[in-house]
Structure 1
């Protein structure tokens, strides 16, 4: 939230010129405003009514304890940088974020920078799926990496953009990734199977691929919510796309085994249509 400090508060920690941790009536809050920390030190009193751009309160005891632990090993500059990123994310979305992001995203940025400084890059196998399924979060994550790059003078790889996007998605959903990891893992498994089974390389930037992973995502949601759909073209699909239908059945088995659900023949029919498109696109690219 933003506005004004309602009661006088004591400075607990100065992270940088823009970010402070304060105690207001025995509740610790993170304050953000350009220049609010300039010249201030621990123990200083900030009067009520002072304007701030953002006020973040970590109310849950476990989250508070985890944030305290984070402050014990994280450089204050990294915490300040993460808080500036969180302010940007909140402003971009025009919504309040789950308080866990102050711990999870900061911790991720801290260790990501350590890995990159040591020339250790972790591959993100779900990058393409994340960009497609969570475009808003991904676009904001790209802006976040620009802030980090400018501050730390280091190049942030695309894989990290995907990881940050998932943290943003989690913060919009009460601190949970909902079924994000499941969707991504299942999509990745099916795609790897298809590339090996059909002997093709699927273009992860293509519209056909975007449609394919989106279909899998919503098919999973339909089954988890017990809302199957009818496919009136199933008979024609089985005849016209016989090979793709057989491959779709094998793909459905992968989904069933990983999520413990039963994929209906109607869904397999739709899946086979997407697989046929991917096969045709691969042939066209090859030719």
Structure 2
């Protein structure tokens, strides 16, 4: 998203999308979407655009993606565009980096669907405490965005929106392709849920052991994708762990079965050993045991 620049703003409208949105061509021949309250009121194609009324400028992508972006901006109420733009500006200051057009458009599109769900009283349960542990900075920025957008629009957005907005931020800040973030957290959540079920507890997401476990699972899954799993030819450590912590080893084996089914890749013995040790730490946290199994 570009800030207003009256000196460079195209003056001739080629398409009026609604009272607040027009499409114009810049001096380099690229299409831009110009937005501002009442910018296009009474304006016809070819008419002069008043640069003083241009509040926001979006440089469109090429091809089908550009057409989708145009549709998003044409269908979005201007109040949503303003609310999202202000929230992204705040997130940029909070994170200390530019976030760009891609995030603004993705969040505008997302917020429109969120408002429709809110109107229809439809909730999408998304309990992912892991995301706050793994990416505290992006999660905090997303929480600020959720509050800011809700306040600007006069609604209370459900807490799950913070999770969704965190994922949008991660797609930009971590360079993750669309869908990769969601898939990673689904897999982390499944592993955590498996451990919780087998231990018969709900783990404390604010505990240090929980944070270590979640971070380890994330790195394990990333090592697996990058074909860089931990390997050690000495199996004695795994045998010691297996016999010392049989219950935790059995749970780790279940995690291994899930990972194989989800990714088609076997965990190495060393990866299995470390999962076992982390599960044992969680088991001792739950039982109040004090034996240190730090890895």
TM-score where L is the length of structure 2: 0.79
After superposition, where does 1:22-61 map in structure 2 within 5 Å?
Answer: 23-25=25-27, 26-29=29-32, 37=36, 40-41=39-40, 42=43, 43-46=47-50, 56-61=58-63
Q: Is the 8 A contact 1:105 1:164 kept in 2?
A: yes
Q: Measure, in 2, the Cα distance between the counterparts of 1:200 and 1:152.
A: 39
Residue equivalent to 2:97: 95
> Residue 148 of structure 1 aligns with which residue?
149
Equivalents in 2 of 1:89, 1:29: separation in Å? 24
Count, aligned residues: 275
Whether the 8 Å CA contact 1:195–1:201 is kept in 2: the answer is yes
1:98·1:173 contact (CA, 8 Å) conserved in 2? Answer: no
In the TM superposition, structure 1's runs of 4+ consecutive aligned residues that sit over 6 Å from their partners are 13-16
Match of 2:77 in 1: 75
Cα RMSD after superposing both structures: 3.2
Query: For the structure 1 residues 138 and 103, does the alpha-carbon distance in structure 2 shift closer, same or farther, using more than 3 Å as the test?
Result: same
> What residue in structure 2 maps to residue 111 of structure 1?
113
Equivalent residue for 1:130? Answer: 131
1:163 maps to what in 2? 164
> Aligned equivalents of 1:281 and 1:60: distance in 2?
54
Matched, 1:267 2:264: no
2:238·2:273 contact (CA, 8 Å) conserved in 1? yes
Deviation at 1:67, TM superposition (A): 1.9
My pick for the range that moved more, 53-62 or 190-199, is 53-62
Whole-Å separation in 1 of the counterparts to 2:3 and 2:81:
19
Offset at 1:166? 0.5
2:292 counterpart residue number: none
Q: 1:237 to 1:218 in 2, by over 3 A?
A: same
Q: Offset of 1:20 from its aligned partner?
A: 8.4
| More divergent stretch after superposition (242-251 vs 56-65) | 56-65
Measure, in 2, the Cα distance between the counterparts of 1:83 and 1:3: 13
Q: Return 5+ residue gaps in structure 1 as ranges.
A: none
Alignment partner, residue 242 of structure 2:
238
Contact 2:32–2:57 (CA under 8 A) maintained in structure 1: yes
The structural deviation recorded for 1:44 is 4.8
1:162-201 alignment runs, 5 A limit? 162-173=163-174, 176-177=177-178, 179-201=180-202
What is the alpha-carbon distance in structure 2 between the residues aligned to residue 210 and residue 107 of structure 1?
Answer: 32
Give a deviation string over 1:47-104, Cα, whole Å, max 9, x none: 6xx8x99754223332220122224433222233223323333343343435433432
Measured against aligned partners, the alpha-carbon deviations of 1:221-273 in whole angstroms (never above 9, x if no partner) come to 11221222246743432232222112211111111111111101101111011
Distance 1:166 1:6 in 2: 36
Tell me, in whole angstroms, the C-alpha distance in 2 between the residues paired with 1:225 and 1:234.
23
* Cα 1:192–1:174 shift into 2, 3 Å: closer
Taking the aligned partners of 1:79 and 1:54, their CA distance within structure 2 comes to 9
Contact kept, 8 Å, 1:29 with 1:56, in 2: the verdict is yes
CA distance in structure 2 between the partners assigned to 1:4 and 1:131 by the alignment: 37
- Determine whether 1:203 maps to 2:211: no
Are 2:232 and 1:228 equivalent residues in the alignment?
Answer: no
8 Å CA contact 2:19, 2:38 repeated in 1: no
Consecutive unaligned residues in structure 2, runs of 5 or more = 290-295
Q: Secondary structure at the match of 1:45?
A: coil
TM-score by structure 1 length?
0.81
